[in-house]
Structure formats: C-alpha cells, structure tokens
Amino acid sequence: MIDYRPATPVVAKGKSLPVRVWLAVGTLADVGERPLTRAPMVGRKRELEVLSDIWERASTERRPHFVTLFGPAGIGKSRLALEFAQFVASRGGRVMRGRSTPYGASSPYSAFTHHIKQIAGVFDSDQLLDAQAKLRRAVEDLIGQGETEEHAANLAMLIGLDGGRDVPDRETLFFSARVLVETLAARTPTLLLFEDIHWADESLLDLLETLAARTREVPLLLLALARPELLSERPGWGGGLPAYTALPLDPLSDGAANELAERLLAPQTSRSGSRPPSPRPRRETRSSSRSSLRRSPSVEAQS
C-alpha cells in the first residue's frame, strides 16, 4: 500500500486540459502486508480469551506454547492476531511479527528472517557487511561473546546473509535459532507471530515445529496464522508436540456481522454528515441477505 498526496496538474501531450496527478510519498504497510481498519473487533471474544489464557499460562509458568490459528482467507485471522498482540504488549510482553509470502522471499525461513532482522535492526537496504555486523552485535549482546561467532554465522545462513558460505547440518542452524529464541524470551516474555504459513517453505515449517518441540522453561508463545489448506500439505501438523493448540475461526454470527458492518460504515456517516443506509436487510429478505453477509470476506475480515 502506497500513500499519495495531490500534486500540481501537468500538461500532457494530446490532452486539452491539465491532467491531475498524485505524488507517492511513502508506504502505508510493508511489502505483502494488509492494512487493518481501526474498527473495534467484533464477535471474537471467545477466541481472544483462549489466546489470552494461553499467554498468561506461558508467561507466568514459563511454559512455551505453540498455537495455530486456522481460517480461510478474509475471515479475520490478522485482525484477531493484532488485537492479541496489543494485549501482550499491554502486559509488558515483547511482540515480533514475521510473514510468509507467495513471492519475493530471500530466504526459505522468511517469517523467522523478519524476526531476526527486527532483533538485530537489519534493514533490507543495508549492505551485506553492515547487516552481518549488526547481526553479530545483536547476538553478542543476547548470548555472550564466547559463542557469538558460531551462532551469528549460523543465523546469517538462516536469513540469507551468509555471503555464499557452505551450509552446515540443518540441525546446527536450528540449534542456533533455538538458543536465540530462548535467550530472547528469558529476558522478556515473548510472542513470535508467524503470519500466512500456508505459503511458507517446508524449511520454515520444520523450524517452527522444532522450536515448539525443543524450547524449554522460558515464557514464549509461538502463534502461527494459516489457511486450512496447510493441513492438506502437512496433515500431521502439530501432532506430538508437548504444548500445542489448534484454534479454528468460524464465520461471524449474523448479529456480529451486522454490527461490524455498522461500525465500518460509521466513519462515512461522520464525514458526510448523513447516515448511510442501514446494513440490516428488510424483513422479507432477511434470511438470504444475512447468509450473503456472513459469507462476505470483506465483512468477516475486520481488516
């Protein structure tokens, strides 16, 4: 998403009148990110309570937990995750977001790459040597000088900053990832959010399950968002893990869908000074209209 502002109209060849133009001034969201509305969340109280209870248990008892939030496109996974992330932050927790996309990934561990870059303050525009130096300093600050070189080198391979080095055994890379995550969570209760893992490379899915299986005695919650088709590719997803919860999202109820529609239309009312047509259907068409509203992704997304 790009933010624009009006610019001075230009005289264009073949046009009798000046042409209106807009100047791109910045991004409203990172590549692949979907902007979310500021409308209050509707109809997801139960799911939010489940996530909140899991967080309280993981953070107070120092018992890592892995949750996968399942739902079709547009049903509101990202909106619920945002609400939950705000809850975690309000309790003093650390929130880190990473997302898998169907294109443009520089590493098979795309979402986890975002987490590491946030920790190290690495930007995509950084030169390779600068990015490696930032990563090394961050690892040294977290883990200590004695093991910095080994873990920094392994993490650099995970996120595509290896400079062409040979990759060691993958378990070695996963061990460094686990050490980093455990050390991070030991300092501050941490939520690692992995969005859209139905697009993730198999390597990231393996890493996620490894972290969930082997991380111990730290206040950590791994939250993954996925469409149901993930289970077609990985039917045993989450099976055998010591602390795992699958949380499906159902479509909004008729009442919640109507309430959401009203809240989404409210800003239009305040700007125009007139009330828009009510989203509630007339009595004689209520059944069919409500069914259509429930199925609408744009209503269910809350985003």
pLDDT at res. 295: 39
How high is the pLDDT of residue 34?
Answer: 52
Please give the structure tokens belonging to residue 19: 């042409």
**DSSP H helices in 109-252:** 110-120, 128-143, 148-158, 170-187, 202-214, 230-233
Residue 103: its pLDDT value, please? 79
How many residues comprise the chain?
A: 303
Residue 124 CB partners (closer than 8 Å, separation 6+): none
First-to-last C-alpha distance (Å) of the chain: 14
- The pTM assigned to this predicted structure is 0.76
Local confidence band at 104 (pLDDT 50, 70, 90 cut-offs):
low
pLDDT at 236: 94
Q: Closest Cα partner for 214 from 262, 184, 179?
A: 179
Report residue 21's pLDDT band, with 50, 70 and 90 as the boundaries.
Answer: confident
CA pair distance 253, 123, nearest whole angstrom = 42
Which is higher by pLDDT, 240 or 104?
A: 240
For the segment 28-57, what is each residue's pLDDT rounded down to a tens digit?
555 445 555 556 677 788 999 999 999 999
Averaged pLDDT, 272-281: 51
In the chain, the percentage of residues whose pLDDT exceeds 70 is: 78
Least confident of 104-108, 205-209, 248-252: 104-108
